[in-house]
């Protein structure tokens, strides 16, 4: 029982460490925290969300997407809308990757079945 409590406590603590990390939401915060180094911000992002890429080309592509989306977040938030955008675990994903992750049913096959026949189509 003590072992189970320890495992649960460690899991909760590691999740809280993730939840406590606050990424900048504006150009001012970014400059203060990261000195305008998108590379440093991306490294922190990779660590917080435990991002691993298959090769250097994949990492470079995800960094480019991440940089574009972060700039969009800062520009949007600078316009003082009634809500703010933020950096999350999807920030480095391409539109296709995000759609496959967030809305897998869009890419899923539709299947119909009756007593004698099973048919799937896109």
Other CB atoms within 10 Å distance of the CB of residue 87: 22
**DSSP category for residue 82:** S
pLDDT tens per residue across span 67-108: 999 999 999 999 999 999 999 999 999 998 988 877 766 655
Percent of the chain predicted with pLDDT > 90: 60
Other CB atoms within 10 Å distance of the CB of residue 2: 6
Do 33 and 44 touch, CB atoms closer than 8 A? no
Provide the whole-model pTM: 0.70
Look up the CATH number of domain 23-121. 1.10.287.2250
């Amino acid at each position: 029982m003590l072992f189970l409590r320890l495992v649960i406590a460690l899991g909760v603590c590691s999740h809280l460490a993730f939840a406590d990390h606050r990424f900048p939401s504006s150009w001012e915060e970014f400059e203060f925290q990261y000195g305008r180094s998108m590379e440093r911000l991306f490294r922190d992002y990779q660590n917080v969300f435990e991002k691993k890429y298959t090769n250097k080309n994949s990492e470079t592509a995800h960094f480019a997407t991440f940089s574009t989306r972060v700039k969009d977040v800062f520009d949007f938030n600078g316009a003082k809308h009634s809500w703010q955008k933020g950096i999350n675990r999807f920030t480095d994903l391409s539109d296709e990757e995000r759609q496959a992750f967030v809305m897998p049913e869009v890419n899923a096959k539709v299947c119909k079945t009756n007593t004698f026949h099973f048919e799937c189509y896109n």
